[in-house]
Amino acid sequence: MRLPRRIGAHEAAPKTSALAEGAKLPRPLTAALGSVLVLLSAACGTAGPGSPGKVALRLGYFPNVTHAPAIVAIRSGILTKRLGSGTQLELKTFNAGPEAVEAIFSGALDAAWMGPNPAINAFARSKGEAIRIVAGSTSGGAFLVVKPTITSAEDLRGKKLATPQLGNTQDVALRAWLADKGLKTTKEGSGDVQILPQANAQTLQTFQSGEVDGAWVPEPWATRLIQEGGGKVLVDERDLWPDGKFVTTHLVASTKFLEQHPDVIKRVIEAQLEAEQLIETDASKAQQLVNDQVEAVTGKRLADKVMVAAWKNLTFTMDPIAPSLQRSADAAIGLGLLDPVDLSGIYDLKLLNEVLKAAGKPPVAEP
């Protein structure tokens, strides 16, 4: 079976415009595109704007379980401790990858955790100049969840399925998988299977009401469709990738900031590694930290049973899983969602490997 190709998460777009990342947890805050919520928790203890003698770091992430290593580093205070008194940290949260990309382009953001297609798109739009991927973060956590009566791809003929947005990670994965099974789809939502782009929170409602028959969604929404919607897993995307690994989230830095302040980015990577070690040794504490931060940002807390179940479907890794990124781009190109792009130079893993070596861990191979 031909493996479906995948274009990344953590928002329909014509070819080289911003492709979508998997929709995130809803946030009860209204804001214009590109606006951000700045979180300076007591644990962070960051200085105010304009502090003399400090390097300002504007760092973005999403309040989502797929960004757990970033959130654990932030909420636990690991990040602030690693950065030290010489860095003025400003945290910014985003609902979607294109917002973070626009913030980088406008000079309002120096680095961020994001999914694969925002990074691909930023690199393509800037002709390879704007960003570099400096570390991995998360793999896995995407599923096709369907009604219990559906047992095969052929059962999907004439059915309606949801994805977070046209051209996003899960949307492309679904379209590629259906094509591999001989089922046609169109951007307009017609074909053998109708694909309806909608926000994940809306998908939970439409799945419960029977308006859609299934959805290819990221965690924790897949778990919620199962637990709250009575769905079942038809496809675990991990089964479609070598060793079950594909990039869901990675750390991206502005090329300009990386060149000017490699020491700061290195300390962010060190903080993430320490956070991943905490995740490995004390998963319960890590889940608590993530849920606390999700609630602080969105005003809503995940049910404990959702958090625990979703957590098991994610792998947290410093490896950016570079081969899956190229296949993501190839998939988007094949589906007409991205112009051909050469991703040579999108990775800069020198700092990551320095951090791994210092921690006694094996290096990540340069793509």
pLDDT greater at residue 23 or residue 132: 132
Contacts of 251 (CB under 8 A, 6+ apart): 70, 111, 112, 113, 133, 134, 135, 136, 137, 268, 269, 272
CA count, 13 A, side-chain hemisphere, 140? 16
- pLDDT for 262 equals 98
Tokens of 6: 């995948």
pLDDT at 11 over 90: no
pLDDT at 214 over 80: yes
pLDDT band at residue 51, thresholds of 50, 70 and 90?
A: low
What is the C-alpha separation between 106 and 58, in angstroms, rounded? Answer: 12
Contacts of 308 (CB under 8 A, 6+ apart): 287
| Span 215-258, pLDDT tens digits | 999 899 999 999 999 999 999 999 999 999 999 999 999 999 99
Domain 142-243 CATH assignment equals 3.40.190.10: yes
* From the candidate CATH numbers 3.40.190.10, 3.30.479.10, 3.30.160.160, 3.40.50.300, the one assigned to the domain spanning 37-140+245-358: 3.40.190.10
pLDDT at 33 over 50: no
| Span 284-307, pLDDT tens digits | 999 999 999 999 998 989 999 999
What is the C-alpha separation between 302 and 268, in angstroms, rounded? Answer: 27
What is the C-alpha separation between 312 and 322, in angstroms, rounded? Answer: 23
pLDDT at 21 over 70: no
- What is the domain partition of the chain in residue ranges? 37-140+245-358, 142-243
Grouping H, G, I as helix, E, B as strand and the rest as coil, residue 330 is: helix
Grouping H, G, I as helix, E, B as strand and the rest as coil, residue 263 is: helix
What is the C-alpha separation between 286 and 312, in angstroms, rounded? Answer: 13
- pLDDT for 23 equals 40
Contact predicate 142/237, CB 8 Å:
yes
- pLDDT for 52 equals 64
Contacts of 360 (CB under 8 A, 6+ apart): none
Q: Mean pLDDT across the chain, nearest whole number?
A: 86
The string of DSSP codes covering 188-243 is TS-BSSEEEE--HHHHHHHHHHTSSSEEEEETTHHHHHHHHH--EEEEEGGGGSGG
Tokens of 180: 């591999």
- pLDDT for 172 equals 82
In Å, how far are 7, 72, 104 from 264, measured between CA atoms? 29, 18, 17
Q: Quick check: bond before 220 cis, omega within 30?
A: yes
Task: Please name every residue paired with 37 in a beta bridge, in sequence order, or none if there are none.
Answer: 93
